[in-house]
């Protein structure tokens, strides 16, 4: 009874449930329309339903609503395969999605009891769809789970298939450890603000607070930090990913193909050093060329004139300014637009390369 009351009194949870039910409000008509389109899918419509499942999954992970997260995640996997044209939405597939969406709605309406409700029938049906459709070579690679381990402790268990599919799209995979006190509360933000940003720029795999790291909450002393871990994929490179968070980069890690974690701070720090080393060499290699051109045109003997001295001083000043400039101020709205455009270009390139490799002239 106490758990139900805490759910009812949580304003954040109430808003999440309202938004999630709104996502599901027209899903039946959308799924039936997807079925009628068959192999000639309406990408905008499929993306709409995919984003609905994706958003519900992201919020459920933060709220600790495990059944809602699990069911929406399995629906998302099927919709992702339809979107990638790896699965044709026939009546059987759409019926499984419809039944799952009905159960998902019931879970949200009865959110206080959702974690104890049985969803195994729907999960097995959805998993059966993705397992039966995957090529034989990929099944061995993608059917099991991988442990995401940090400092000897398993942070997440994630489907290798999800990671595999994300990498095929050109995504980098990251683990971010937010501090709910320092990075969220003190900045007047909420975890959902970060989750929304992630879902706009890529794919959220899982997220949860690290309760064990807080210690015993029954003690008088309040914790100095409350870790909140997020595992996600995005087209943003390691040197750019902190634009989503604006936190200490020591708490952002890239997940490598062997599932090891590497801090992005080392990658980001190496780039400016390369530019500083190569830039003087480029200027030195161009100096003899310029001198030869001046001599050939007869201007080498006139460098003692006042006008040329002023010109040379101006050039030196320009070079010093260029060498000293290491940052550029850009309006945040322009940065968001550039990031979105860059993401669309990368995704478009990857889809084109995949279509060419599969000789799918329709997609080309």
Collect contacts of 67-71 with beta carbons under 8 A, ≥24 apart.
67/107, 67/114, 67/115, 67/117, 67/119, 68/20, 68/104, 68/107, 68/108, 68/111, 68/114, 70/119, 70/123, 71/100, 71/103, 71/104, 71/107, 71/119, 71/122, 71/123, 71/126
Residues 6+ apart with CB under 8 A from 54: 72, 76, 199, 203, 204
* Cα separation values, 58 from 10, 28, 177, 208, 230, Å: 17, 21, 16, 10, 10
Per-residue pLDDT tens digits for 91-138: 999 999 999 999 999 999 999 899 999 999 999 999 888 877 555 444
Which pairing describes strands 153-159 and 252-255: parallel, antiparallel, or unpaired?
unpaired
**Range of 52-56, 275-279, 342-346 with top mean pLDDT:** 52-56
Collect contacts of 17-20 with beta carbons under 8 A, ≥24 apart.
17/108, 17/109, 17/111, 19/55, 19/59, 20/55, 20/56, 20/59, 20/68, 20/108
State pTM to two decimals.
Answer: 0.53
* Cα separation values, 26 from 30, 98, 101, 305, 325, Å: 6, 11, 11, 79, 53
Residue 305's pLDDT is 47
User: Rounded to whole angstroms, how far apart are CA atoms 231 and 254?
Assistant: 10
Indicate the pLDDT class of residue 323, thresholds 50, 70 and 90. very low
Which of 110-114, 145-149, 278-282 comes out lowest in average pLDDT? 278-282
Average pLDDT over residues 214-226: 65
Q: Mean of the per-residue pLDDT values for the chain?
A: 75
Residue 201's pLDDT is 76
**Range of 7-11, 103-107, 195-199, 342-346 with top mean pLDDT:** 103-107
Could you tell me the two tokens for 251? 């708490």
- C-alpha 145: how far from chain center: 19
Closest to 171 (Cα-Cα) out of 350, 355, 352 = 350
Q: How many C-beta neighbours within 10 Å does residue 355 have?
A: 15
Could you tell me the two tokens for 195? 């989750």
Indicate if the pLDDT at residue 181 is higher than 50. yes
Residue 173, φ and ψ in degrees, nearest 5: -110, 130
Average pLDDT over residues 346-358: 65
Contact 173, 231 (CB under 8 A): yes
| Unique residue bearing structure tokens 């550029």 | 328
Could you tell me the two tokens for 112? 């206080």
Contact 174, 255 (CB under 8 A): yes
Indicate if the pLDDT at residue 14 is higher than 80. yes
Share of the chain above pLDDT 90, in %: 26
Q: Where are the domains of the chain?
A: 1-133, 142-277, 278-324, 328-364
User: Rounded to whole angstroms, how far apart are CA atoms 295 and 215?
Assistant: 76
Indicate the pLDDT class of residue 58, thresholds 50, 70 and 90. confident
Residue 283's pLDDT is 43
| In CATH, 1-133 is 3.90.230.10 | no
**Selected residue with higher pLDDT from 108 and 5:** 108
3-state secondary structure of 24: helix
Would you list the DSSP string of 318-347?
HHHHHHH-------HHHHHHHHHHHHHHHH
Indicate if the pLDDT at residue 354 is higher than 60. yes
Could you tell me the two tokens for 55? 């958003």
């Amino acid at each position: 009874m106490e758990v139900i009351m805490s759910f009812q009194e949580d304003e954040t949870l109430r808003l999440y449930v309202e938004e999630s039910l709104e996502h599901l409000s027209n899903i039946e008509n959308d799924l039936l329309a997807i079925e009628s389109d068959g192999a000639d899918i309406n990408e905008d419509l499929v993306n709409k339903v995919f984003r609905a499942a994706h958003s519900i999954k992201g919020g459920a992970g933060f709220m600790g609503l495990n059944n809602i997260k699990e069911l929406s995640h399995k629906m998302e996997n099927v919709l992702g395969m339809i979107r990638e044209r790896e699965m044709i939405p026939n009546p059987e597939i759409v019926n499984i999605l419809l039944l799952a969406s009905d159960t998902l709605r019931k879970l949200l309406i009865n959110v206080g009891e959702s974690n104890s409700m049985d969803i195994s029938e729907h999960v097995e049906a959805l998993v059966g769809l993705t397992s039966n459709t995957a090529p034989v070579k990929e099944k061995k690679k993608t059917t099991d789970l991988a442990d995401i381990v940090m400092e000897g402790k398993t942070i997440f268990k994630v489907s290798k298939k999800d990671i595999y599919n994300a990498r095929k799209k050109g995504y980098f995979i990251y683990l971010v450890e937010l501090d709910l006190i320092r990075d969220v509360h003190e900045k007047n933000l909420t975890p959902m603000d970060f989750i929304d940003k992630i879902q706009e720029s890529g794919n959220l795999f899982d997220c949860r607070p690290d309760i064990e790291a807080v210690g015993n909450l029954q003690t008088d002393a309040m914790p100095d930090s409350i870790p909140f871990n997020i595992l996600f994929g995005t087209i943003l490179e390691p040197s750019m990913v902190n634009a989503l968070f604006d936190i200490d980069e020591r708490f952002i890690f890239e997940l490598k193909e062997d599932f090891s974690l590497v801090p992005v701070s080392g990658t980001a720090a190496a780039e400016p050093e390369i530019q500083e080393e190569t830039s003087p060499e480029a200027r030195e290699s161009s100096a003899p060329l310029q001198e030869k051109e001046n001599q050939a045109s007869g201007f080498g003997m006139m460098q003692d004139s006042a006008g040329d001295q002023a010109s040379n001083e101006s050039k030196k000043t320009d070079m010093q300014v260029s060498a000293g400039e290491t940052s550029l101020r850009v309006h945040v709205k322009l940065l968001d637009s550039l990031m979105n455009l860059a993401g669309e270009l990368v995704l478009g390139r990857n889809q084109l390369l995949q279509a060419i490799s599969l000789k799918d002239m329709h997609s080309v």
